[in-house]
Structure 1
């Protein structure tokens, strides 16, 4: 990999890791569902006017929008709003690789190799270890696990869709997710809460929203898609494991979150298990592990 492309891969991982700090800041200003709706709305418009129509059947765009855009991010934002630390969320969310493999076996009839099963077991042990520290707030932890489950399912749907342009696909997924999220926000949070949040928007809220919509979603997926087209998943996928490192480091530096020994140990197991599953893996399986943005 060329030096500038290596720098791009690390930069994208850093962007996606810092994204959890931006989410934490945004949740101080917006209800979770409204924040998610605004994020996808900004990611879709005005980009949708320039990218052209999606290059895959609409049913797959709608499926990923529902599972990834609506379900995954609603659960993630709700979990973080309920008290799940930003840095730890960036780590626990990597358990999506576990559920991706399980769903690939169930729905795609893929047969994981022994090394992948071993990696799965190691990653599960890491998640369970992290869970021991969240015993005082199991609901928040389970919401983020639910987000990882939804992400794994969306990875399988994306695999079936096989979009040739990941950025264009993400723009349309964002567009189709925006409407249901607005409706859910109005029904669950209520018009008065949403309106109050919009009226009270300040610089921090605006910057966090712009970051996750434009930099993390559009710029991040554009850079990642370029790397995948240039080098392939086998070379690029391991860089995704830098995301929890940047996520936990930025949360510690900017939010003052403590990093406990159990977090480090759990992180080593989760990341190590996922990387173990990548060793000499088939391209079809590896491709499911490269969508790591939040």
Structure 2
């Protein structure tokens, strides 16, 4: 079982980490928001087909269930991906993945605001600040202008991570018993529709798409590997490992993004990138130290019982 979980964890990290590289590659061929919309047009249909196959409730029925889909579609699909895809125009895939890895840290901050039962200790506040310092280090501000195309792109990716974190907290406030596959499918389709509207609003056009093999491969990879297969693995691991261990995928993904970016794109790994990642990861450890300790103690007790 441990070997199976570890294999799936690595597979998920590879799928989601390399997705940032596929996004970066595909941006040479697609307008960014339209690219994200195409991705979830197709991924949503695939996930809906899986929901029909795997669950007995393939569509929402009640108002709370549609509210859950609405929150997921608006924040976790549309806002997150539109901002991420536009932001990746100005930063490397590794840097984008590292900023997105701030999501678990931001989730804790939003939970403190919207979920009264959540508490943030002094050490937790330090963890938040350390994570934010990591983003500042990533921006690598010099003595020149603070507002550059790179810092704007970093800010957009940061907003993407914040949108995803906010969406994940708000969905916890909605009392609805909807299969997660069904929720994801309809959220993807709703998010795709919203991104098509946003794409039109900012003047993007299908006529600007370059229908070339490399771009189509990037789109297919995002749809099949990163979205469809990635989310199926995620659902399986979430049930087996729980939310704390699955959050660690956020910190394995940037490593994969850095490697694939160097191998397949003209990207370089800088000292600021490594330092920023280390600080964000340290912030996560400080925030989740109690939950991580409980997980480790639980795993230790389970191993002892087996022996």
Q: Do both share a fold (TM > 0.5)?
A: yes
Cα deviation, residue 115, structure 1: 3.5
**Which deviations, in whole Å up to 9, do the C-alpha atoms of 1:67-109 show, x marking residues without a partner?**
122111111111112x111111100111222321221111112
1:104 corresponding residue in structure 2 = 111
> 2-side partners of 1:268 and 1:32: how far apart?
29
Partners of 1:50 and 1:167 lie apart in 2 by: 8
Shift of 1:276: 2.8
Residue 186 (structure 2) pairs with residue 178 (structure 1) = no
The runs of 5 or more residues in structure 1 that have no matched partner are 284-294
1:61 corresponds, among 42, 58, 69, to 69
Equivalent residue number for residue 303 of structure 2: none
Q: Provide the C-alpha distance between the structure 2 equivalents of 1:86 and 1:37, rounded to a whole number of angstroms.
A: 19
**Structure 1: distance between partners of 2:177 and 2:212:** 37
What does 1:1-294 align with in structure 2 at a 5 Å threshold? 2-51=2-51, 52-54=58-60, 57-81=65-89, 83-109=90-116, 110-133=118-141, 135=146, 136=148, 137-161=150-174, 165-190=179-204, 193-197=205-209, 200-281=210-291
Q: CA RMSD in A?
A: 2.2
Whether the aligned pair in 2 keeps the contact of 1:121 and 1:273 (CA below 8 Å) is: yes
SS at match of 1:280: helix
C-alpha separation in 1, matches of 2:141 and 2:221: 30
Matched with 1:286 is none
User: Which of the two has higher C-alpha Rg?
Assistant: 2
From the superposition, tell whether residues 22 and 233 of structure 1 become closer, same or farther in structure 2 (CA, over 3 Å): same
In structure 1, what is the Cα distance between the partners aligned to 2:246 and 2:49?
A: 30
My pick for the range that moved more, 22-31 or 88-97, is 88-97
- Aligned-partner Cα distance in 2 for 1:118–1:268: 15
Structure 2 Cα separation of the partners of residues 6 and 114 of structure 1: 33
Q: How high is the TM-score relative to the length of structure 2?
A: 0.83
Any conservation in 2 of the 1:16–1:220 contact (CA below 8 Å)?
A: yes
1:239 positional shift? 3.6
How much does 1:54 deviate?
4.1
Contact 1:22 1:211 in 2 (8 A): yes
> How many positions carry a matched residue from both structures?
278
Answer whether contact 2:104 2:247 (CA < 8 A) is retained.
no
Distance in 2 of aligned mates of 1:279 and 1:168: 33
| 2:231 aligned counterpart, secondary structure | helix
CA-to-aligned-CA distance 1:136-188 (integer Å, 9 cap, x gap): 42211111111111111111123234766433321111111122211221232
Structure-2 change in CA distance of 1:179 and 1:236 (3 Å)? closer
Q: Which moved more, 1:88-97 or 1:115-124?
A: 115-124
Whole-Å separation in 2 of the counterparts to 1:138 and 1:3: 41
Question: Secondary structure of 2:191's partner?
Answer: helix
Task: With the length of structure 1 as denominator, give the TM-score of the two structures.
Answer: 0.87
* Shift in CA distance, 240/139, structure 1 to aligned 2, threshold 3 Å: closer
- Distance change (3 Å), C-alpha of 1:126 and 1:47: closer
SS of the residue aligned with 1:281? Answer: helix
Provide, for residues 246-271 of structure 1, a one-character-per-residue CA deviation record: whole Å limited to 9, x for no partner. 11121122213111111111111111
